[in-house]
Structure 1
Amino acid sequence: MKNRCYSFLLLGFLAAGHYVKAQVTLPGFTAYAVPEEKGVDISARQGVVRWTDSTNAVHFYFHAASTGTLKVTLQAKSDAPSRIKVQLNGVEKIVRINGSDYTKIPVLQTKIKKPGFYTITLKGVEKQGNVYADVQGVTLEGPATKDIQFNPKSWRRSASVHLNYPVAKDTPVEWFYGEIKVPQGEDKTGTYFMSCGWHRGYFGMQVNGPDERRIIFSVWDAGKEPDDRAKVRYEDQVTLLAKGDSVIAHGFGGEGTGGHSHWVYNWKAGETYRFLMHAVPSGATTQYTAYFYVPEHREWKLIASFRAPKDGRYMRGLYSFLENFSFENGYLHRKGFFGNHWIKTPSGEWIELTKARFTNDATARAKDRLDFGGGAEDGWFYLWTAGFMPADAKLGDVFERPAGGRHPEIELPKF
């Protein structure tokens, strides 16, 4: 009986966390190469591999909700003896890696004194073979792991964030106007700043690479085919009716299907850009046309016009968003300002949109990422994502900006 009671007491201690070493492992495939993923690969299956360049460090990020001791252990291997430096919370150690099989290598211990975001940095020091290390994961152990947050998935994009503009249900939205301003330094590669979105499509601007930027306008097909447009029946496909000079247009798939158009245009951070959408219902279809104001030419440019089947309505569900679509630099902060949004009804009435409700995507809702936000500032709404800093907005928050009171004056090109 005494032994049985002792066993129950022991189980109680274990259940309460006594004698149990709480630990979590940050998968290697969630790391980022800084400043760029060059000379090292982050594989969705294998983690950190082919790390040959010491100019790029490997970073793991996490958010500590609790204080206390934290021990760090690497799960790593190398093709020949090597040394790497590991840094966390002001503590650094140089670790030897020698073995072609993944091995648990104790690294360092530190004390987390306050909750917040932390970075584990790995830097190559010396190698005798081809690589500094292949890293399968980083294990953290100790009291500070209680309620710790990190991304457990290979999806390394940051959270997408949105502004939803409330409009009365009985208001027919024929025209939808908006502006975007991206601060200097926030125009990171792999970012989409979307101004005018509605129930059937979206219109905004992207940073597609170091030397290419685009104005993007897309409209979704009818139906629910998620990936392959070849599977969409002809009567469900949107139809290209017109496009502007130098605009590229084609079908798309992979995130729903539809008609895509873009114009390669070197927009600049710090400047304000204007977007205009037009909807013309006809029977069971609606023609959607996008115009972009080119400041250098002081005129509106037609991007494209699509006819959407199984619609026949004006625009509804109006919104803007900020999206990070690049895995490699999903750690980099990006921010955009969205403002001066107006709608115009078929009767000619202009209505200014001064309220917005904040929403986010599945990445945020699953708490895979905590670094995102939005609000109102200097007469604009703003959205931001990434950077591993505390959120300043939560799902459902409502923002309000002061009314400008002056609707846009628009003179469209004649055809």
Structure 2
Amino acid sequence: MKKKWLLLALLLTTATTRIFAQTPQADLPGFTAYADPEEENVQISQRNGVIKWTDKANTVNFYFHVATPGTLKVALTAKSDAPSKVAVTINGVEKTISINANAYTKIPVLETKIKSAGFYCVSLKGVEKKGDVYGDIQSVNLEGSAVKDIQFNPKPWRRAASVHLNYPVPEGKNPEYFYGEIKVPAGEDKLGTYFMSCGFHRGYFGMQVNSPTERRIIFSVWDAGGEPQSRDKVKYEDQVVLLAKGDSVEASGFGGEGTGGHSHWVYNWKPGETYRFLMHSVPEGNTTTYTAYFYVPEHHEWKMIASFRAPKDGKYMGHLYSFLENFSFSNGHLGRKGYFGNHWIKTNTGEWIELTKAKFTNDATARAKDRLDFGGGSENGWFYLWNSGFKPANAQAGDIFEHPATGQHPDINLPKF
């Protein structure tokens, strides 16, 4: 009988251990946090997570997606240079905790019931501190049935997923010119955003929000050879050559994401306005000259941004596309949206062809499912792209969008040089 009780006790212990071990858990790294209203008086460090958090005006936010409703326990792994208090909010529940340890310690916070699948946010706000910081946060620790199949970005790459519109060109047609327009709604022009209208196999042309006081029209062409980082390593015969640039346009080489020739014009474009872009390609031998023009509405005329000669090319533009990119790490959680439309090509035989169909694609961040918040479609005669904001995707790679044809090609009167 004693042996039977021992065996029963052993089985119960094993079952309990197995149940405990199977409780889903996840740790959201500190380096994946975002600060609001901006990343100031707090740092999000790739090595150390949330550090130097000195101002209670900032909230520190961690985002994730729940697939399985259920119980969720929240804890913080944190430390502080002196006793402090931090308010933690999720799912409408708030709890103020004390951080007293000067070494990273796991601090239980609260338990809540997640009733529906979707995006959620653990938000931290400083309450009081006796030292310099409210706390250094190494991770947010989640446990419970709601963690099953949870999704969050595990990487320090805090940008939103990039999204693209790819425009098919009828077979046998050579695009000498590629024309497109962009319109950005008010409030969607977040810092660190690139709205690109006319992309092709060797470059891209569009407009950016670079700082609170600076916006740019930007045009770049890649070198040959495939060097990923340093232009110093690119052979001279593989380098793009600047042939001309417009007044007040800055031009230089670039590296870090491939290499090539870069040009930009500082121009205070405005949300709600429609802007026009035109690319021109001239093949000659095994090179092609690419020239970008931007229509300046205040002057009622086209302005040349730059002209580059690309080696080891020798063909007209191919792989025509537009994209929306978030290139700032600090605000990769803020939603942005742009409209892209009225795209046309003019072939080398003088034929105008309207591009009313687009294939939706996205980048490695989306393909790895590090981010789920992106999409696009067709609306009011325009294509649109959006990313970030931690809301459900409304498109997937390979989707085909269409909008009605206007039937009226653009009237273009280019400057003479």
TM-score higher than 0.5 here? yes
Separation in 2, partners of 1:308, 1:83: 59
Q: 1:245 aligns with which of 244, 247, 263?
A: 247
Separation in 1, partners of 2:171, 2:280: 18
Query: Which letter maps to 1:24?
Result: A
Separation in 2, partners of 1:287, 1:180: 24
Q: 1:396 aligns with which of 395, 398, 403?
A: 398
Spell out, residue by residue over 1:174-223, the C-alpha distance to the aligned partner (whole angstroms, 9 max, x if none).
00000000000000000000000000000000000000000000000001
Note the 1:92-171 alignment, pairs <5 A: 92-171=94-173
Q: 2:358 aligns with which of 344, 356, 359?
A: 356
Separation in 2, partners of 1:85, 1:371: 27
TM-score of the superposed pair, with normalisation by structure 1: 0.97
| 3-state SS of paired residue (1:388) | coil
Match of 2:200 in 1: 198
Spell out, residue by residue over 1:247-285, the C-alpha distance to the aligned partner (whole angstroms, 9 max, x if none).
000000000000000000000000000000000000000
What is the CA-CA distance between 1:6 and the residue it aligns to?
9.2
Separation in 1, partners of 2:83, 2:292: 59
What is the CA-CA distance between 1:20 and the residue it aligns to?
2.8
What is the CA-CA distance between 1:168 and the residue it aligns to?
2.7
Query: Which letter maps to 2:153?
Result: N
Match of 2:181 in 1: 179
Spell out, residue by residue over 1:303-336, the C-alpha distance to the aligned partner (whole angstroms, 9 max, x if none).
0000000000000000000000000000000000
Match of 1:328 in 2: 330
What is the CA-CA distance between 1:154 and the residue it aligns to?
0.4
Q: 1:372 aligns with which of 365, 371, 374?
A: 374
Separation in 2, partners of 1:19, 1:283: 67
Separation in 2, partners of 1:337, 1:10: 60
Separation in 1, partners of 2:14, 2:181: 61
Change (3 A) 1:138 1:18: closer
| Runs of 4 or more above 6 Å deviation | 1-15
Separation in 2, partners of 1:86, 1:4: 45
| 3-state SS of paired residue (2:365) | helix
Match of 1:46 in 2: 48
Match of 1:256 in 2: 258
Query: Which letter maps to 2:332?
Result: G
Is there any run of 5+ residues in structure 2 with no aligned partner, and where?
none
What is the CA-CA distance between 1:169 and the residue it aligns to?
3.8
Separation in 2, partners of 1:413, 1:60: 51
| 3-state SS of paired residue (1:95) | strand
What is the CA-CA distance between 1:414 and the residue it aligns to?
1.0
Please tell me whether residue 387 in structure 1 is matched to residue 409 in structure 2.
Answer: no
Separation in 2, partners of 1:353, 1:5: 73
Is there any run of 5+ residues in structure 1 with no aligned partner, and where?
none
Change (3 A) 1:13 1:85: closer
| 3-state SS of paired residue (2:120) | strand
Note the 1:226-375 alignment, pairs <5 A: 226-375=228-377
| 3-state SS of paired residue (2:288) | strand
Change (3 A) 1:4 1:308: farther
Separation in 2, partners of 1:70, 1:320: 41
What is the CA-CA distance between 1:233 and the residue it aligns to?
0.3
Change (3 A) 1:14 1:405: farther
What is the CA-CA distance between 1:381 and the residue it aligns to?
0.1
Higher mean C-alpha displacement, 94-103 vs 1-10: 1-10
Spell out, residue by residue over 1:279-300, the C-alpha distance to the aligned partner (whole angstroms, 9 max, x if none).
0000000000000000000000
Change (3 A) 1:78 1:345: same
Q: Cα RMSD between the aligned structures?
A: 1.7
What is the CA-CA distance between 1:9 and the residue it aligns to?
9.3
TM-score of the superposed pair, with normalisation by structure 2: 0.97
Query: Which letter maps to 2:351?
Result: E
Separation in 2, partners of 1:166, 1:146: 41
Spell out, residue by residue over 1:104-150, the C-alpha distance to the aligned partner (whole angstroms, 9 max, x if none).
00001100000000111100000000000000000000000000000
Separation in 1, partners of 2:354, 2:15: 62
Query: Which letter maps to 2:128?
Result: E
Higher mean C-alpha displacement, 246-255 vs 162-171: 162-171
Match of 1:73 in 2: 75
Note the 1:10-89 alignment, pairs <5 A: 20-89=22-91
Separation in 1, partners of 2:91, 2:172: 56
Higher mean C-alpha displacement, 4-13 vs 326-335: 4-13
Separation in 2, partners of 1:19, 1:237: 57
| 3-state SS of paired residue (1:259) | strand
Separation in 2, partners of 1:4, 1:235: 79
Change (3 A) 1:282 1:70: same
What is the CA-CA distance between 1:12 and the residue it aligns to?
7.8
Separation in 2, partners of 1:11, 1:339: 63
Separation in 2, partners of 1:305, 1:169: 27
Separation in 1, partners of 2:14, 2:169: 58
| 3-state SS of paired residue (1:235) | helix
